[in-house]
Amino acid sequence: MEKNDKTTGTVSGIIANLVVVDVDGPVGQNEICFITHGKERLMAEVIKVTGDQAYVQVFESTRGLRPGSKVDFEGHMLEVTLGPGMLSRNYDGLQNDLDKMEGVFLKRGDYTDPLNREQKWNFKPLLEKGAEVIAGDWLGEVEENQMPHRIMVPFKLEGTFTIKSIAKEGEYTVDDEIAVLEDKDGNSVSVNMVQKWPVKVPIKTHKEKPRPFKLLETGVRCIDTLNPITEGGTGFIPGPFGTGKTVLQHAISKQAEADIVIIAACGERANEVVEIFKEFPELDDPRTGRKLIERTTIIANTSNMPVAAREASVYTAMTLGEYYRAMGLKVLLMADSTSRWAQALREMSNRLEELPGPDAFPMDLSAIISNFYSRAGFVYLNNEQTGSITFIGTVSPAGGNLKEPVTENTRKAARCFYGLSQDRADSKRYPAIDPIDSYSKYLEYPELQESLEKNMGEHWLENVLKTKDILFSGKEADEQINILGDDGVPIDFHQRFWKAELIDFVVLQQDAFDKIDASTPLERQKYMLEKVLNIADTDFEFKNFEQVGEFFKRLINQLKQMNYSEFDSEKFKTYEKELEEMLGEFAVETKKEAQAV
């Protein structure tokens, strides 16, 4: 939406950060405006229009604001600025560069440019004069932190254009003209390296968006082994306070097979976000050998920053992801936490006196969450290249109640559910993902099943289902033992319990502080799972339940030593040989063979 004659207005009412404005002309939904308050200009967004009044949510504190203040409408929606220089940046929810701001607390009305306008980039053209292009086509590229950053035909252009001229390889700033395009009517369009795009409108420059089918390797065993997520897939991590949502997100960010990592800290406590700012610059990137922050962008809108901007922050992050996806890159987008985004929606809905839904959330919460999650995905671009956004959000349900509206509606939208268990966290079983309640709907897709069989063997899905059966059987045996006592159940119940514990300790639990165990390649996951399942299939003969526990504790310790050793190394093989000797102590078949000899 663009307008030549800008509309103005006057503040007539104020309810916290909801401001009622009397307007003198047309305004549109989601249009941006600035409210003049002394020397400050406060940014706001139109969220409702009634007659000649516009209701706007202000992205700043409205303390001291009075009726009569002047309002200038900009004629466009809330936009992000896209171009080289966004990696390694720390932005707020409105894409202000936090590193350019001064003071401990952000000053009201202080807005900064997200890009460095003076830095020069080495531009290399990818197309020549006379080539026909459409929106999203790659004109050239610059290198940013060893990552190819494609300069594209502006997304807002419609129809086919011809390249009238294109810059030669050389050093340019983001505002320098790098190409001139001409439409079929002979009109010229000057193109530089900067684009602007409204955050609540998806970038659609791809020709096809198929169902995700490629496995995304995260290095986290309880995800890759039992409930895999696809490249371009969606998942969410609900769990009570202290169960490790943020730590799990950090682990996935560091280890997942992605080119670009975008972290949206949406309403998280400021101290947790400070840890991200401090830790990420120090983390080594296992994929490049450099620092992880070099391919990371952080969008921070903490709990003590404006609530209204909390909603904008997730859309800002997603739009940046779509921009990089249009370059043919794999993007991993993490949002922490979407519960607080939903709380911001609830707050504005209540102030607008809309009809409330469950727990006073908006009636259309389900549609809002679904529309947002649908912006992720795997795409084929116009040049046959592929790009993807894999989105994983966290949900912080009040009191750990997974039946509350945000969790329930997110469950409908996301394809992977990684529920964190308070019991597992309390017993230090990390990651605390509940292996029985969690699921991946992508396992139902024949395309992913083929991909898994290709990488992990034709019996992979069968082994996954078998593993879950053993875990469920072990849980039932544990409940019986707790009710009837150790002596009140057959030894078989103890075996079922300990075989489930074997899988839990060796496959599901992972040491994020160990250099080797922190990330497990798929080949190693396959090998260790098959080894553990072979043990679970073995019949053992014990005299009493104490013998069962002691034996399986030794097995668990031996297998964990294997997890801490380099795969297929001499040390690994030594532990494996010792393990085989241990198994022979109580295995029924081994005893029969010895007696026969």
Candidates 311, 353, 361; CA nearest to 20 is 353
Average pLDDT, the chain: 92
513 versus 501: the higher-pLDDT residue is 501
Per-residue b or e along 487-511, where b marks 16 or more CB atoms closer than 10 Å to that residue's CB: eebeeebbbbbbbbbbbbbbbbbbe
The answer to whether the annotation marks 233 as part of a ligand binding site is: no
Give residue-wise pLDDT tens across range 257-271. 999 999 998 877 776
The first and second tokens of residue 331, run together, are 């993007």
For the whole prediction, is pTM greater than 0.85?
yes
88 versus 513: the higher-pLDDT residue is 88
pLDDT band at 593 (very low <50, low <70, confident <90, very high): very low
213 contacts: CB under 8 Å, gap ≥ 6? 230, 378, 445, 447, 448, 450, 451
The answer to whether the annotation marks 520 as part of a ligand binding site is: no
Taking CA 544 as the corner, what is the angle to CA 543 and CA 546, rounded to the nearest 5 degrees?
A: 130
Give residue-wise pLDDT tens across range 292-320. 899 999 998 877 777 778 889 999 999 99
H or E segment and range at residue 14: strand 8-15
Give residue-wise pLDDT tens across range 55-98. 999 999 899 999 999 999 999 999 999 999 999 999 999 999 98
The answer to whether the annotation marks 68 as part of a ligand binding site is: no
Give residue-wise pLDDT tens across range 120-175. 999 999 999 999 999 999 999 999 998 999 999 999 999 999 999 999 999 999 99
Rama region for 309: left / alpha / beta (φ>0; ψ in -120 to 50; rest):
alpha
Domains and CATH numbers, the chain: 8-76 (2.40.30.20), 121-196 (2.40.50.100), 221-444 (3.40.50.300), 460-596 (1.10.1140.10)
The answer to whether the annotation marks 319 as part of a ligand binding site is: no
229 contacts: CB under 8 Å, gap ≥ 6? 216, 218, 223, 235, 390, 392, 415, 416, 440, 442
Rama region for 115: left / alpha / beta (φ>0; ψ in -120 to 50; rest):
beta
The first and second tokens of residue 548, run together, are 């069962």
Give residue-wise pLDDT tens across range 212-245. 989 999 999 999 999 999 999 999 999 988 898 8
User: What is the structure's pLDDT at 298?
Assistant: 93
User: What is the structure's pLDDT at 463?
Assistant: 93
Instruction: At 382, give phi and psi (nearest 5°).
Output: -65, -25
Contact 383, 343 (CB under 8 A): no
Task: Provide, rounded to the nearest whole percent, the portion of the chain with pLDDT above 70.
Answer: 97
> Can you tell me the distance from the alpha carbon of 430 to that of 576, in angstroms, rounded to the nearest whole number?
24
> Can you tell me the distance from the alpha carbon of 117 to that of 100, in angstroms, rounded to the nearest whole number?
13
pLDDT band at 246 (very low <50, low <70, confident <90, very high): confident
Give the residue-averaged pLDDT of 409-424: 95
* pLDDT for residue 594 is more than 50: no
Give residue-wise pLDDT tens across range 564-592. 999 999 999 999 999 999 998 888 764 44
The answer to whether the annotation marks 542 as part of a ligand binding site is: no
The answer to whether the annotation marks 246 as part of a ligand binding site is: yes
pLDDT band at 450 (very low <50, low <70, confident <90, very high): confident
Candidates 584, 502, 579, 576; CA nearest to 541 is 584
